Amino acid sequence: MSQQLSEQELVRRESLKKLRDLGINPYPQALYPVNALSKDIKANYEEGKKVIIAGRLMSRRIQGKASFAELQDSEGRIQVYFNRDEICPGDDSTLYNEVYKKLLDIGDFVGIEGVLFKTQVGEISVRVTNFSLLSKSLKPLPLPKTDSEGKVHDAFTDPEQRYRQRYADLVVNPHVKDVFVKRTRLFNAMREFFNTRGYMEVETPVLQPIPGGAAARPFVTHHNALDIPLYMRIANELYLKRLIVGGFEGVYEFSKNFRNEGMDRTHNPEFTAMEIYVAYKDYHWMMEFTEQLLEHCALAVNGTTKATFDGKEIDFKAPYNRVTMRQSIIDFTGFDIAGKSEEELKSWCIQNGIEVDDTMGKGKLIDEIFGEKCEGNYIQPTFIIDYPKEMSPLCKEHRDDPSLTERFELMVCGKEIANAYTELNDPIDQKERFEHQLELAQKGDVEATEFIDYDFLRALEYGMPPTSGLGIGIDRLVMFLTNNPSIQEVLFFPQMKPEKQGLILSDAEKTILDIVKSKSKIDLSELKNAAGLSGKQWDKGMKGLNKNGLIRVEMEGDQKYCVLQD
RNA sequence: GACUUGGUAGCUCAGCUGGUAGAGCAUAUCACUUUUAAUGAUAGGGUCCUGGGUUCGAGCCCCAGCCAGGUCACCA
């Protein structure tokens, strides 16, 4: 398969060949004995120190027999100084004039042995005594430039290209790389927080026969040997609880979840949640645990508990406010939901411009009111507690009010980032709740869960200790901690529609097509002669063109003609 | 799903009421031994997202589609 190469790509391929002709392997096998990183060199500068560094060549300023370049490694960039007489002590200046000046390009990986010094303008640099090509780059990178005032020109900003070619994005946009460094720091901080408390990181199935633990549309796949459908997990909650049944007293998992729903600025088909379950605790304990966890994480990621998101400063310093859902609705609307019937709630909604429909029960109506009138107002981290029972099928009934559950959600900047319960461990109650969900689903509530996980119920029948569980949307938390309003910015490879493949023709196909184009209809054997291709190439070319619907072979009596298709 | 903005050179972006397609950087050639958005000179480089239509003539106008961003709706 051939592809259209740009002028610059052709030049680089030509350089590749010339390097080989000079006996230089552009993709050498041997390890390169790197012993220094750009960042450390700058931090612990020692005049005259010998170093061996490696990285990508990212800029060059050639001035005749001397040249400055920038080498970029995992930690940043450092200036390197190439001097012809230094590199080529004898008469043969090929290494400098040809290899360095002409055959190397921006983007190439090179290894450099050199000596540290400061230039006349005071920039820490490496005087190159020897260099070797480590890997040739054949495709020109986008090339943002930073001027003396720190302003970036020609920045690589097109989101489509950046997401589709994240590798290029990461090479040229250090601030993008930084987001992912912070993302990993967050994972590490959480693990450390849990591990020091004795909780255990576990793994549970991604392929599940019953997708449980959340209300969401799953991806379905099929296991051939078992000949059964399997679902990609939408949550790991039910599996972690089985482990609590099994005797672990604290388990957590960073869970890749998959939901077959719409995509937008805040939803990717696969996303990461962290769930943790701790035995003998309740949701009050979990609130304290959560605020301490987030304070710890914010500090570990950014060095401060404060973070800016969407122009607002938020502070993850514990403790956070706790507001009941009932009180929240009173605060923002003056309406008290306590003791109200479904009819009363519904008519209030209609009067206040909230859309309702017949599938909505009390819980759903209350949730709508909260979502519409309250949610967006919580900028600083705030626990909203005590949710209606109907919308929390896995959560234990409230100790003081049977219409409520012991549940909290943590709101930040008007968005939910954590959800926690005093977990329901009464197997009979749990079964009834599942059955109720099933009824709702059959009534047409798309949010209700339509599977009953009897194995999970069996586990509960053996007995699960009182337990509190917490789920945190990791991607969302990273968004808050790195001030990114889009989930795509915090995922290395956000899901995208497949790139459109332009029709790519082989050389043989092109040759044949050109001839057919010039005649529009041509005798087949005449065409074959004109193309001058080998039998095999001819056959391949014709088949390819036919398959792509570009040409057609027609019979007129004994004569075969090739016709251009449009 | 609705609305909206965009898709032009390797990258960032211009483009006239519709008349042969432009800049900077990058690339190539030359000059230049401590520069730093290096500099100076010269040159090459384009299926203007795709497909239709209107027109003597379309990058530009019209229609349809593809991809992406944003807003909203839906959804945790």
Q: What is the ipTM of this complex?
A: 0.91
pLDDT tens per residue, range A280-295 = 999 999 999 999 999 9
pLDDT classification of A530: cutoffs 50, 70, 90:
low
Q: Is the CB of A262 under 7 A from strand B?
A: yes
Contacts of A21 by beta carbon, 8 Å cutoff, 6+ apart: none
**Span CA (A12) to C1' (B44), Å:** 15
pLDDT tens per residue, range A234-255 = 999 999 999 999 999 999 999 9
Q: Is the CB of A148 under 7 A from strand B?
A: yes
Cβ atoms of A506 and A545 closer than 8 Å = no
Cβ atoms of A265 and A487 closer than 8 Å = yes
**Predicted local confidence at residue A551, as pLDDT:** 62
**Predicted local confidence at residue A311, as pLDDT:** 87
**Predicted local confidence at residue A393, as pLDDT:** 87
Give the range among A149-153, A195-199, A311-315, A514-518 with minimum mean pLDDT: A514-518
Two tokens, residue A474: 């990791």
Alpha-carbon distances, residue A121 vs A83, A103, A487, A542 (angstroms): 17, 29, 42, 64
**Predicted local confidence at residue A65, as pLDDT:** 94
Higher pLDDT, A28 or A346: A28
Mean pLDDT, rounded, for A35-59: 96
pLDDT classification of A509: cutoffs 50, 70, 90:
low
Q: Is the CB of A113 under 7 A from strand B?
A: no
**Span CA (A501) to C1' (B47), Å:** 14
Q: Is the CB of A155 under 7 A from strand B?
A: yes
Instruction: DSSP letter for A520, please.
Output: S
**Predicted local confidence at residue A350, as pLDDT:** 87
Cβ atoms of A78 and A90 closer than 8 Å = no
Give the range among A291-300, A303-312, A529-538 with minimum mean pLDDT: A529-538
> Can you list the alpha helix ranges (DSSP code H) found in A92-146?
94
**Predicted local confidence at residue A437, as pLDDT:** 83
**Predicted local confidence at residue A274, as pLDDT:** 97
Give the range among A109-113, A165-169, A229-233, A438-442 with minimum mean pLDDT: A438-442
Alpha-carbon distances, residue A341 vs A331, A336, A365 (angstroms): 20, 12, 11
Q: Are strands A321-324 and A382-385 parallel, antiparallel or unpaired?
A: parallel
Give the range among A62-66, A278-282, A377-381, A512-516 with minimum mean pLDDT: A512-516
pLDDT tens per residue, range A175-214 = 999 999 999 999 999 999 999 999 999 999 999 999 989 8
State the Cα–Cα distance between residues A224 and A107, nearest whole angstrom: 45
State the Cα–Cα distance between residues A128 and A509, nearest whole angstrom: 49
pLDDT classification of A566: cutoffs 50, 70, 90:
very low
Q: Is the CB of A89 under 7 A from strand B?
A: no
pLDDT for A517 beyond 60: no
Which residues 25-84 on A are within 7 A of strand B at the CB atom?
59-66, 68, 79, 81, 83-84
State phi, psi for A67 to the nearest 5 degrees: -160, 145
Query: What percent of chain A has a predicted confidence (pLDDT) above 90?
Result: 71
**Predicted local confidence at residue A2, as pLDDT:** 38
Residue of least CA–C1' distance to B47: A502
pLDDT for A388 beyond 70: yes
pLDDT classification of A438: cutoffs 50, 70, 90:
confident
pTM tops 0.90:
no
State the Cα–Cα distance between residues A117 and A499, nearest whole angstrom: 47
| Greatest C-alpha distance within chain A | 97
Higher pLDDT, A21 or A525: A21
Contacts of A457 by beta carbon, 8 Å cutoff, 6+ apart: A427, A430, A431, A434
Query: What percent of chain A has a predicted confidence (pLDDT) above 70?
Result: 89
pLDDT tens per residue, range A251-275 = 999 999 999 988 889 999 999 999 9
